[in-house]
Amino acid sequence: MAGEKIVVCGAGGFIGGHLVAALLQQGAAVRGVDVKPRADWFQVFPEAENVTLDLREKEACEQAVREAGIVYNLAADMGGMGFIESNKALCMLSVLINTHLLMAAKDVGADRFFYSSSACVYAADKQISPDVTALKEEDAYPAMPEDGYGWEKLFSERMCRHFREDFGLRTRVARYHNVYGPHGTYDGGREKAPAAICRKVIAAKLSGQKDIEIWGDGEQTRSFQWIGDCVKGTQMILESDYVEPLNLGSNELVTINRLVDLAEEIGEVKLKRRYNLSAPKGVNGRNSDNTLIRKMFGWEPSTRLRDGLEKTYRWIYDQMTSSTSAHPMSSA
């Protein structure tokens, strides 16, 4: 990486901030880009070049990738299920970010381009049961992804493929499965299940209330990936010769009720659960089949949910009990 400018788009967001931290620790020259003012970034590192740009604009993308050897695109208007089910057009508009970044990366002669896709690309008819069969990469077709957000991700995957085939830009794609950890959104509507559950349990404990609301019946299943595993896998995929989209997620399948159990154990509290059956809950079951990533790299995300969730809980607790804490609503 010596002598190359590495550009992280979405650097003010959750995953982007952790990726910038890892790259700087490795001695890279990093430019971080995000649409939010720097005061609203989750993590800001003075060693990096930190730039505020709206990457939906073509000219902003051209400015972002100047002198870039490597581009990581983690930028998107997104959030948890409550956000993506209610903001399909906003999610679809993220196609402008990836399209303009690909064009700019090609024109500047960048060597490699990473695109952060999502498990939301997978066909809905393969996720109708909580006892879901883990999703293989091939299950994205025939296409029936999550409406809005999933369609944008699947389209952008194809755009990466064709820029690689037609223009020689070395694109790499990972399909993220439910990434969680500290330094991320935990309230405001964009947060994902682990952070939301931690926040609800902490709020109940701090206020003395005896119950919390759970979206759906709690029996929907998911796997959740620790942020450190996500960053390691992201870099591994970017640097590899494997060109097709790869799952990047844990295969430790749990119900939402079990996720609440774990948060209660960590918080040393037991709460009554109110199930909101009209709230957005997404598909009934989703898990990552890690056969291919194990075959290609001899590795897969492996941090136990209980271990990662405890670190996440402690960080959110500190944020909620600090009078000076700030927690911006992340879109990247």
- Active site (annotated) includes residue 149: yes
d(CA 209, CA 237): 45
- Spot the catalytic one: 72, 115, 122, 149: 149
Residue 285 burial class via C-beta count within 10 angstroms: exposed 0-12, middle 13-18, buried 19 and up: buried
- Token pair belonging to 286: 């989703």
Q: Which residue has the tokens 């700030």?
A: 326
CB of 31 closer than 8 Å to CB of 72: no
Distance of CA 259 to the CA centre of its chain: 18
Q: Is 270 exposed, middle or buried (0-12, 13-18, 19+ CB in 10 A)?
A: exposed
In sign, the C-alpha dihedral spanning 133, 196, 189, 155 is negative
Instruction: State the catalytic residues.
Output: 149
